[in-house]
Amino acid sequence: MTATSPSPAEPAPIPVVVAGALGRMGAEVIKAVVAAPDCTLVGAIDTTPGHEGEDVGLALGLGELEVALSGDFEGTLCQASQAVRQAGPGGGAVLVDFTHPSVVFEHCRGAFAYGVHPVIGTTGLRPDQLADLAAFAEKASMGGAVVPNFCVGMVLLQQAAAAAARFYDYAELTELHHNRKADAPSGTCLKTAELMEELGKPFKEAKTGERIEGRLVRTVEMTSGRHALIERSRDFTLVPWRPVLERQLGKPVAGIMRDGGINWTVGRQRSGPSIS
C-alpha cells in the first residue's frame, strides 16, 4: 500500500476593494476581478450621486455580485481589513484605486493605516508624496504599487524614450488627452520624464514661487493648454505660455512661477521688462 501525502490547500482568493468603481477604469478592474479565480471583490467605493447601497454588479450591467456601492472610504477599508487579520502573514486585502489626483494620496495613507495593500492606477502623485508613501509602507512593513499606466505598449514606449534620450541635447514629451483629463502632464508623461532623467536628460516640474531662468526653446501643445519649454543648464521645465513670449523664442528669459501663470523678465539685463 502506497502512502500519499495530502495535497496542499488551495490559497484563499485575494480580497479586492475597488475605489472609483463606476468610472471607466474602475469598471474594467471589477470585471477583471470577478473573472479571476484567485481574486474576490469585497468592496466597491464610488461617490457618484444616486448609487449608494446599489449592487455594483447591477450598476455595471454584470449581474448581481452581492457587493454594495459605498461612498464611505474608511468604512469599506475597515471591513476589508478584517480579511487581513484572518489571512495571517503574507495575506491581506488589496485596494485598487482609480479615482482622482486630489484624493489619491490620502487614499494610499488610509489603505496603509488599515493594513490594506494599495495598487494605484490614479496619476498625479508628486515626487514628495511618493517618498512619503514609501516611508509609510516601510513603517507598516507592507507592500504597494503605483502604476501610472497598465498598458504594456506604453511601458515599452517609456523604455524606448529613455534609451533614445541619451542621444539628444534635450527631449520633449507631447501628449494629447480627452478634455476631462484630471491631471496634466499625466502621470504617464511624468514617469517617462523620470526614466529619461535617469539617463542624464532631466525634466523638473515648476513649482509655485520658484524662480524660472533659462532659454525659451519652443512651445509645447498639451491638453491643459499651450506651454513654454525652458531649457536650463542641467534640466528643462514646462510653464504656461503667454503670447507676448512669441518674440523671445531662442532668447534667455526669467520669471517667478505663480498660481495663475508666471511673471516674466526677458533678456539678460537685471532690470528687463516684466510680463505678468
Q: Answer with the one of 146, 162, 183 that is the final residue of a domain.
A: 146
The residue ranking higher by pLDDT, 273 or 114, is 114
Of 55, 37, 142, 45, which Cα lies nearest the Cα of 93?
Answer: 142
pLDDT value of position 1? 47
pLDDT value of position 198? 59
pTM here is: 0.61
pLDDT value of position 13? 85
Domain contains 5: no
Domain contains 251: yes
Is the pLDDT at 269 greater than 50, yes or no? no
Is the pLDDT at 227 greater than 70, yes or no? yes
Task: Using the structure block, give the residue that is written with the C-alpha cell 461617490.
Answer: 47
CB 203 within 8 A of CB 197: yes
Domains: count for the chain? 3
Which CATH number characterizes residue 39's domain? 3.40.50.720
Distance CA 205, CA 150 (A): 23
DSSP result, 27-41: HHHHHHHHH-TTEEE
- List the domain range (segments joined by +) for residue 90: 14-146
Q: Answer with the one of 161, 186, 203 that is the final residue of a domain.
A: 203
Distance CA 266, CA 63 (A): 62
Domain contains 9: no
Domain contains 6: no
| 177 catalytically annotated | yes
Per-residue pLDDT tens digits for 54-104: 999 999 999 999 999 999 999 999 988 875 565 555 567 899 999 988 899
Of 117, 151, 145, 102, which Cα lies nearest the Cα of 17?
Answer: 117
Strand, helix or coil for residue 153:
helix
Same domain flag for 159 and 236: no
Is the pLDDT at 222 greater than 70, yes or no? no
Same domain flag for 57 and 139: yes
Domain contains 1: no
139, 177, 178, 191: the catalytic one is 177
Distance CA 69, CA 77 (A): 13
Per-residue pLDDT tens digits for 123-159: 778 878 888 998 988 888 888 888 877 777 877 877 7
Same domain flag for 118 and 49: yes
pLDDT value of position 109? 92
Is the pLDDT at 3 greater than 90, yes or no? no
Domain contains 233: yes
Same domain flag for 169 and 112: no
Same domain flag for 155 and 131: no
Domain contains 3: no
Is the pLDDT at 106 greater than 90, yes or no? yes
Is the pLDDT at 237 greater than 60, yes or no? yes
CB under 8 Å to 38, separation ≥6 — which residues?
Answer: 11, 13, 14
Domain contains 8: no
139, 181, 191, 201: the catalytic one is 181
Per-residue pLDDT tens digits for 169-218: 667 777 777 766 666 677 777 777 776 765 455 677 888 888 888 888 88
